[in-house]
Amino acid sequence: MYSQITSNKRKSVFLVLIFIAIIMALGWFIGVYLGYGYEILIGASLFSLLMSLTSYYGGASLALLSAGARAISKEDNPYVWRMVENLCITAGMPMPRVHIIQDAALNAFATGRNPEHASIALTTGIIAGLKNEELEGVIAHELSHIKNYDIRYLTIVVVLVGAISLIAHWFLRSGLLGGHRRGNNNAGGALAIVGLVFLIISPFIAELLKLAISRKREFLADASGALLTRYPDGLATALEKIADHPKPLDRANRATAHLFIANPFKVRSFTGLFSTHPPIEARVKILRGM
């Protein structure tokens, strides 16, 4: 389990470094070939940062609102409350706010920028459909996302994806419209082609990297959750039940799909590259091998 956690942390950091390298490459092209300097790179990064800060501090509330989650107290559902509380004591972390989603689908998610400002949401379907040790595994998985600062980490990734998309778009406009570019018309035409390539490829690669990081964090949360409960089979069985349950989440949202323990749309991508979550079969195999 410790090996799985270390491996996923290392791979996730490597993917973020690739993001930064792409942004630096785009900035270099703009500065050198278009004669704008690095003002555009700085401006795009600052604009993306400003937008992401809004979602960073208000994103948790928006995610809960979009899912139709309702905050509960200990009196509302002592069973779930005590399970979350006991796992938090075991993990040595603050108690997050607990929410319930009135939905028959089997799913759950956690959100919040740090353990002190975190929430966990469970559907009524998953509470009713899983046994005690299975639900405990799901909650441990979500608490691990909070403890591992996965939401903060993914927010940084979203910022980088936005910056890459903005820079690629500005690069294309500058190449096509001229502006301060240097060189003759032939050079401008060549720059337009390069800009078009960057516009198409850079955001696409960035999105794939974002999805890859999201999948890596799911593996990390699986390993961390199993480490917390000391019973990997509980989460493995829960994931199998979630995969076999046919009902998608009623209020699923593509902007928050990566937060859930499993894809809320119940759609399986023809390739893992385009999925927010790794295959359930792969996750179960790793858990059963621990």
Catalytic positions, please?
A: 142
Query: Strands 118-123, 97-101: parallel, antiparallel or unpaired by DSSP?
Result: parallel
What phi-psi label fits residue 163: left (phi over 0), alpha (psi between -120 and 50 degrees) or beta? alpha
Query: Strands 97-101, 108-112: parallel, antiparallel or unpaired by DSSP?
Result: unpaired
Distance CA 90, CA 82 (A): 12
Q: How many CB atoms lie within 10 A of CB 265?
A: 14
Distance CA 19, CA 115 (A): 26
| Per-residue H/E/C for 152-183 | HHHHHHHHHHHHHHHHHHHHHHHHHHCCCCCC
Q: Which amino acid is at 247?
A: K
Are 87 and 143 in contact, with CB atoms under 8 Å apart? yes
From the CA atom positions of the chain, what is the Rg in Å? 21
Are 120 and 139 in contact, with CB atoms under 8 Å apart? yes
